[in-house]
Amino acid sequence: EIVMTQSPATLSLSPGQRAALSCRASQSIGSNLAWYQQRPGQSPRLLIYGASIRATGIPARFSGSGSETEFTLTISILQSEDFAVYYCQHYDNWRLTFGGGTKVEIK
Amino acid sequence: EERLVESGGLVVQPGGSLRISCDASGFTFDDHAMHWVRQAPGKGLEWVALITWDGTGTYFADSVRGRFTISRDNSKSSLFLHMDTLRSADTALYYCARDRYSTTWGAFDLWGQGTMVTVSS
């Protein structure tokens, strides 16, 4: 099973700041990586797939980068609605796994 | 509007069985593989099971293999998860999620609101 490790567990930032979230895979997964946002009390929402492709309707302030084992989700200018938990997920094989999540909270 | 609506979540005793459902609307159901993903209270996301568009391929997380079965009825745009020998560790909000692909697996581009399964005596 591929283990996905996200860091940091919590990121405390102010609106308007830039956020960089890290996700590491225990083995190479190419670009088979997705990022999801989960706001409190809501279902997850797909942000990024293919490591860097924004899903339909996702604002341009969200960007994904990386390949193989190291990936980053960047939120260029944090808006109030961006404070949430973010999960990465690999789909390199059928044993799909998620990272533990990064909570982006208001400082 | 594309929607997934789960139902059937209940309080079940340990060792019991339960079937939960997911009804899809607003898109061509059999164009997509489908998944179940769960989230224990206050915890992260855990992938549970996958079924290909035609139901010929099914895959399960190690934690549920041999106890859970995933199926679909394309004529009714419905997805099911049958759970046997339930344990307290299965207590979670169960989400139905749509895959971007039909015959393989990828990112989940549509999620339901979830149905709560509680295993407790």
In this complex, which of A36, A43, A97 lies closest to B114 when CB atoms are compared?
A: A43
CB pairs under 8 A between A and B: 58
How far apart CA A12 and CA B73 sit, in angstroms, is 45
Q: Which of residues 44-73 of A touch B (CB under 8 A)?
A: 44-46, 49-50, 55-56
List chain A pLDDT tens, one digit each, 107 residues: 999 999 999 999 999 999 999 999 999 999 999 999 999 999 999 999 999 999 999 999 999 999 999 999 999 999 999 999 999 999 998 899 999 999 999 99
Cβ of B100 and A49 within 8 Å? Answer: yes
In this complex, which of A38, A46, A56 lies closest to B108 when CB atoms are compared?
A: A46
In this complex, which of A44, A45, A91 lies closest to B106 when CB atoms are compared?
A: A91
Cβ of A95 and B106 within 8 Å? Answer: no
Cβ of B105 and A89 within 8 Å? Answer: no
Residue B87 pLDDT: 98
Average pLDDT over residues B29-54: 96
Q: Is the pLDDT of residue B102 over 90?
A: no
Alpha carbon A38 to its chain's center: 10
Average pLDDT over residues B31-51: 97
Cβ of B107 and A49 within 8 Å? Answer: yes
Average pLDDT over residues B43-57: 96
Average pLDDT over residues B56-79: 97
Residue B105 pLDDT: 84
Residue A59: asked if its preceding bond is cis (omega within 30°), the reply is no
In this complex, which of B62, B109, B111 lies closest to A43 when CB atoms are compared?
A: B111
Percent of chain B with pLDDT strictly greater than 90:
95
CA neighbor of A75 nearest in space, from A15, A25, A29: A15
Cβ of A94 and B108 within 8 Å? Answer: no
Give the confidence band of B91 by pLDDT, cuts at 50, 70, 90.
very high
Q: Find chain B residues with C-beta within 8 A of A56's C-beta.
A: 109
Minimal C-alpha gap between A82 and chain B (Å): 18
Residue B1 pLDDT: 96
How far apart CA B32 and CA B34 sit, in angstroms, is 6
- Residue pair B30/B74 in contact by the 8 Å Cβ criterion: yes
* Tokens found for residue B19: 């079937």
pLDDT digits (tens, 9 = 90+) for B53-64: 999 999 999 999
Average pLDDT over residues B46-57: 95
